[in-house]
Structure 1
Amino acid sequence: MRPVFTNSPVRLGRIPGSLLLTSTYRVSPSRFVQCKRCLATQVNHSAAIPESEDGKERVVILGSGWGGYTLSRKLSPKSFSPVVISPRSYFVFTPLLTDAAGGSLDFSNIVEPVRDPHAKVDFIQAAARAVNLEKKTVLCESTVVRSGVTETPRTHEHERVSEEESATPSMRTIQRAHGWEKGELFEVPYDKLVISVGAVSKTFNTPGVRNNAMFFKDIGDARRVRRRVRECFELAVLPTTTPEMRKWLLHFAIVGAGPTGTELAASLRDFIYNDMTALYPTLKGLPHITLYDVAPKVLSMFDESLSKYAMETMKKEGIVIKTSHHVQGLRWGEPGAEPPYEMDPKRCLTLTTKEEGEVGIGMCVWVTGNAMNKFVSKALQDVETFPTASALLKDGTKPSSDSIKASSSWRIKKAPKVGALLVDGQLRVQLENANGKTAVLQDVFALGDNAMLETGAPPATAQATTQEAKWLADRLNKGDIKNSPPFSFRNMGMLAYIGDANALMQFPAEDNKPPRYLTGRMAWAVWNSAYLTMSMSWRNKLRIGFRWLLNNIFGRDVSRY
């Protein structure tokens, strides 16, 4: 029978079981009983079944990042049936993303698949489009066949229906791509919902940035950065390249001097100065890296002395640091060129700052901050029907019938300016109405960069998100979420790599005393040990350690693909 495809919402529970079988497995009967939930595509167990298995609560988790991936692995399989819904079928160990971009690691070394035969977690590769709080369902769109899901979109916000769309350069291309990239819509029911979709890169509406800059949040972004570095070197050695264009192509700009921008500059510095210049001896002395930031210093979350040490060390290593600089635009073409400015990767770009004017660069990586994606900012907005079965007022009582009837006045509560979901101390999503009343959803939670605690928001780091996920999993496993004290972030310290086997480590401050810290080679040894042990699987722990060993013997990977 020929399958029929439609864009109208489909209730997954009504799909015949035979259509859900995507693979055939040979498993002995005893082994099959033990691994009943190991294979998410089994006919007799699938996320498409509306009823929870054996009375277990279905926890639908939106996102496969630090929050969603960690939570799915920590929930008790005896009490819950977790289902991860994400456009991406993997988890990225982001602290080592800069190492992958700098050739120190393979991209597969820092990726963990969500589908795992050893994890009792179901997975659906789709993007959430809407949530019905009253029916307790999530409307999703399949993203199995779609380009660009591993990369941050480069088109402007107003040109996209969603943040997960293809990174295409023009509106016409996007509209044409939708003909085959638009996925089927379907609903997934939940008993509990956890929103951990993360955030997108914030451009501050700087002209040309969304279209022309590179971002750094996913594995495809890191691959693109590494490829562009090699591309610029190859373009620079062509006989037809002028000396002036060669200088511009080998100027690599990073905008944003936080931990990610600083570590990326350091990793690219090692890659370019230690490995690439050896392959291109005629270009020696030409490549340089510039780190821009509007703040007066780098790593502003570190102690003043550590920030100063980082700036001095990186300058000695050859990294140009330009703080208190305001980026005003980014376009293709050399400085001083007349419009039109059409995209031409064979040539340089021009970065315009308030302080310097136009500067020619070969690549611009934008790592300045987070903004809410469109699912949080648009889809999670108004409440069509008040969820009477799952929402209580702040004092624990049910809202009055008058408040319920005026459901159009209820909205999902969000943090002012930032737009993140404003959750209570138990990480529960809240509703608010025009009269100033607040209702707490007892079965919908949010964590990570797309959420903000009203009791005091932790920093937007992987460390904080992981702690939130572990805390929530522990509370759900013990069933004491309503009586537990609010979540409290515990600062375990901060690490940052600053290049040439140097790093910073700041320990948490105690009793208003100055923070203790390590610098240099000792901090670098701690940096390596910490991230090696924090890697999720033993497979990747061994692969990372072995790859670092090979780098010391043979050098970094300089392939371009």
Structure 2
Amino acid sequence: MRFSRSLATVSDEAVCAEGSAAISHDWTSRREKVIVLGSGWGGYIFSRRLSNKQYDCTVVSPRSYFVFTPLLTDTAAGKLDFSSIVEPMRDRRSRTDYIQAAAREVDFKRKTVLCEATVVKSGVTESPRVEESERQFEEGPDTGKFRGQQHLRKWEVGQMFEIPYDKLVIAVGCVSETFKTPGVRENAFFFKDIGDSKRVKRRVRETFELAVLPNTDEEMQRNLLHFAIVGGGPTGTELAATLRDFICDDMEQLYPAVKGKAKISLYDIAPTVLSMFDKSLSQYAMETMKKEGIDIKTSHHVESLRWGLPNTPGPHEMDPKGCLTLRTKEEGDVGIGMCVWATGNAMNKFVKYSLDTVDEFPSSSAVIEGAGKDNNRASPEEGKWKVKKAPKIGALLVDGHFRLQLENDKGQTAVLQDVFAIGDNAMPETGAPPATAQATSQEAKWLADRFNKRDFDKVPGFSFHNMGSLAYIGSSNALMQIPHEETPAGSGKRRNPYLPEGLTGRTAWLVWKLAYLSMGMSWRSRSRILFRWIINRLFGSDVSRF
């Protein structure tokens, strides 16, 4: 397929000037060449599990590391160092290759991926804070006069090159969905990557310093120290709880002049938080967090976010020395010092636009459903082909074995035998698992095993195995939901029949600690996490601002 000229940050002339540079990897290897797009849960785990004896694997991602996202909230509160929850893509213990670049288009016919190097590109480690209509890709400057105008900063344009593949795995994940709420993309903080957590960590400490300045009045103090988190899922709930612990245990001790003035509000459009848990567990979470002082604002509709004091006339220009105003349908204007947007997933621009129409049908690798093995070719007369996607969210619709599908305007479907998609950017037609790290990691392991055993035609499609859910709710309390669904379906036998429906309180918190510690990707990260938890008990969390 060809990438739309209107969306490309680099013109055809620029590509020619840079040249489709041949990278220095051994593409003459007899092993099949597997290209993995993305270094998140799907791409990282798949590449590490893939047999290096059978495959020559290369990960292509603008981010040169993997993030253990369940503990990202701890880094924002200074409970963990950022290095404790990341695994570098370049590792002496792994034979997987890595290229720091972003995929720009895929040619299914020629079996190549066009990439742009992102080694010196800004905005790679954090969520874009520019509306989609303003930005060309998901990386680039998001502040100042070059906001959304990467093409005006010549050095932002990376080298362009093509990478051939025998098999391609797409695991680029999602970006934050703002539902086009005015001011959110520009003024809110998101929480998906290390750069996002650094922004939150810095702003929390910044608001306390601003609040204790001699010329800050009490109203502004309360506005600055009001932290709003939008999204009552596991990420938003755990962030609210972790920040509450940090403020009560550390910040208020260091800033006695504003003790008792800090406030955390958790907003969600749903009637409950943690709606994926059983009703009793969700209710327990809300009651516990309210007792700890967190203001739970369910059934609230956020209408806008802007800088400036509440109920004041505009214009309102960005001024981090002051507060923001969050407007909801139910409360009107509310002054806050920071808003973290932790709700909603949207397809990134690569999936949304690059993986769309197909210029040339890949007849050598696509099988048309119902055509049979000897009649799987399609001619231009059979209609225009495009990548098959979910109607509303735009995720890549894959079959039960995560193979990418094409469709034409005549209702035909073709299954690509050499292109796969896993994670939040993909949706199996046989039944979509939840958009969680647990589900993505299972998909990655299952797909890698199919590659290694070469048994796609011998095994049934992927089936998600629910291992339970965990959520931290503050003050050393947590929730754990234990799965009890029937297995196999309709057998009348339940999984874990001798265990309770769930755990709460300190017991669940200990399980939460042990589970995430054991899930660390390496002994190095596990050791760092355990060591920092011990240090925090002795000396408190890191309160530095940089």
TM-score, normalised to structure 2's length? 0.93
Q: Do residues 507 (structure 1) and 482 (structure 2) align?
A: yes
1:188 to 1:408, Cα distance in 2 relative to 1, 3 A:
farther
The CA deviation at 1:178 is 3.1
The CA deviation at 1:176 is 6.4
Q: Measure, in 1, the Cα distance between the counterparts of 2:130 and 2:146.
A: 8
Q: Do residues 87 (structure 1) and 62 (structure 2) align?
A: yes
1:92 to 1:371, Cα distance in 2 relative to 1, 3 A:
same
Structure 1 counterpart of 2:298, one-letter code: T
Correspondence list, 1:220-369, <5 A: 220-369=195-344
Partner of 1:150: 125
SS in 2 for 1:157: coil
CA deviations on 1:414-437 (whole Å, 9 max, x unpaired) are 011010000000000000011111
The CA deviation at 1:102 is 1.1
Partner of 1:481: 456
Q: Do residues 524 (structure 1) and 509 (structure 2) align?
A: yes
Correspondence list, 1:528-547, <5 A: 528-547=513-532
The answer as to whether partners of 1:423 and 1:453 remain within 8 angstroms in 2 is yes
Partner of 1:37: none
The answer as to whether partners of 1:153 and 1:168 remain within 8 angstroms in 2 is no
Partner of 1:39: none
Q: Measure, in 1, the Cα distance between the counterparts of 2:318 and 2:234.
A: 30
Q: Measure, in 2, the Cα distance between the counterparts of 1:396 and 1:466.
A: 34
The answer as to whether partners of 2:479 and 2:502 remain within 8 angstroms in 1 is yes
SS in 2 for 1:286: coil
The answer as to whether partners of 1:206 and 1:328 remain within 8 angstroms in 2 is yes
Q: Measure, in 1, the Cα distance between the counterparts of 2:88 and 2:398.
A: 29
Q: Measure, in 1, the Cα distance between the counterparts of 2:184 and 2:401.
A: 37
Gap runs ≥5 in structure 2: 1-12, 487-491
Partner of 1:119: 94
CA deviations on 1:426-465 (whole Å, 9 max, x unpaired) are 0000000111110000000000000001000000000000
The answer as to whether partners of 2:169 and 2:420 remain within 8 angstroms in 1 is yes
Partner of 1:139: 114
The answer as to whether partners of 1:201 and 1:215 remain within 8 angstroms in 2 is yes
Q: Measure, in 2, the Cα distance between the counterparts of 1:553 and 1:106.
A: 16
TM-score, normalised to structure 1's length? 0.91
Q: Measure, in 1, the Cα distance between the counterparts of 2:350 and 2:213.
A: 45
The answer as to whether partners of 2:368 and 2:376 remain within 8 angstroms in 1 is no
105, 108, 121: which is aligned to 2:83? Answer: 108
15, 18, 23: which is aligned to 1:7? Answer: 15
Q: Do residues 219 (structure 1) and 194 (structure 2) align?
A: yes
Q: Measure, in 2, the Cα distance between the counterparts of 1:292 and 1:498.
A: 15
Q: Do residues 164 (structure 1) and 172 (structure 2) align?
A: no
CA deviations on 1:54-80 (whole Å, 9 max, x unpaired) are x10011000000000000000001100
The answer as to whether partners of 1:432 and 1:439 remain within 8 angstroms in 2 is yes
Q: Measure, in 2, the Cα distance between the counterparts of 1:415 and 1:161.
A: 23
Partner of 1:198: 173
The CA deviation at 1:173 is 6.7
The answer as to whether partners of 2:135 and 2:148 remain within 8 angstroms in 1 is no
CA deviations on 1:286-314 (whole Å, 9 max, x unpaired) are 00100000000000000000000000000
Partner of 2:5: none
Partner of 1:459: 434
Q: Do residues 385 (structure 1) and 354 (structure 2) align?
A: no
Q: Do residues 181 (structure 1) and 189 (structure 2) align?
A: no
The answer as to whether partners of 1:50 and 1:188 remain within 8 angstroms in 2 is no
Partner of 1:31: none
Q: Measure, in 1, the Cα distance between the counterparts of 2:321 and 2:208.
A: 11
Q: Measure, in 1, the Cα distance between the counterparts of 2:141 and 2:421.
A: 26
The answer as to whether partners of 1:154 and 1:211 remain within 8 angstroms in 2 is yes
Q: Measure, in 2, the Cα distance between the counterparts of 1:401 and 1:97.
A: 47
The CA deviation at 1:6 is 5.6
Q: Measure, in 2, the Cα distance between the counterparts of 1:455 and 1:218.
A: 30
SS in 1 for 2:110: coil
536, 540, 544: which is aligned to 1:551? Answer: 536
Partner of 2:27: 50
The CA deviation at 1:7 is 3.3
1:196 to 1:270, Cα distance in 2 relative to 1, 3 A:
same
The CA deviation at 1:401 is 8.6
The CA deviation at 1:189 is 0.3
Q: What is the identity percentage for the equivalent residue pairs of Structure 1 and Structure 2?
A: 64
CA deviations on 1:366-393 (whole Å, 9 max, x unpaired) are 0111000000000000000000000001
Partner of 1:38: none
SS in 1 for 2:379: helix
Q: Measure, in 1, the Cα distance between the counterparts of 2:418 and 2:106.
A: 13
The CA deviation at 1:10 is 3.9
The answer as to whether partners of 1:448 and 1:468 remain within 8 angstroms in 2 is yes
The answer as to whether partners of 2:368 and 2:377 remain within 8 angstroms in 1 is no
The answer as to whether partners of 2:402 and 2:421 remain within 8 angstroms in 1 is yes
Q: Measure, in 2, the Cα distance between the counterparts of 1:322 and 1:328.
A: 14
Q: Measure, in 2, the Cα distance between the counterparts of 1:406 and 1:455.
A: 30
Q: Measure, in 2, the Cα distance between the counterparts of 1:407 and 1:162.
A: 33
CA deviations on 1:82-125 (whole Å, 9 max, x unpaired) are 10000010000000000111111001100100000110101000
Q: Which region of structure 1 is more displaced relative to structure 2, 408-417 or 294-303?
A: 408-417
Q: Measure, in 2, the Cα distance between the counterparts of 1:266 and 1:407.
A: 56
Q: Measure, in 1, the Cα distance between the counterparts of 2:152 and 2:509.
A: 45
Q: Measure, in 1, the Cα distance between the counterparts of 2:106 and 2:432.
A: 25
Structure 1 counterpart of 2:527, one-letter code: L
1:396 to 1:118, Cα distance in 2 relative to 1, 3 A:
farther
The CA deviation at 1:406 is 3.4
The answer as to whether partners of 2:396 and 2:427 remain within 8 angstroms in 1 is yes
The CA deviation at 1:399 is 8.7
The answer as to whether partners of 1:213 and 1:366 remain within 8 angstroms in 2 is yes
1:358 to 1:399, Cα distance in 2 relative to 1, 3 A:
farther
The CA deviation at 1:164 is 2.0
Partner of 2:6: none
1:399 to 1:448, Cα distance in 2 relative to 1, 3 A:
farther
The answer as to whether partners of 2:136 and 2:148 remain within 8 angstroms in 1 is no
The answer as to whether partners of 1:332 and 1:344 remain within 8 angstroms in 2 is yes
The CA deviation at 1:408 is 5.9
CA deviations on 1:6-39 (whole Å, 9 max, x unpaired) are 63374444x6xxxx5xxxxxxxxxxxxxxxxxxx
1:399 to 1:306, Cα distance in 2 relative to 1, 3 A:
farther
Q: Measure, in 1, the Cα distance between the counterparts of 2:472 and 2:450.
A: 35
1:336 to 1:431, Cα distance in 2 relative to 1, 3 A:
same
Structure 2 counterpart of 1:283, one-letter code: V
SS in 2 for 1:152: coil
SS in 2 for 1:224: helix
1:150 to 1:533, Cα distance in 2 relative to 1, 3 A:
same
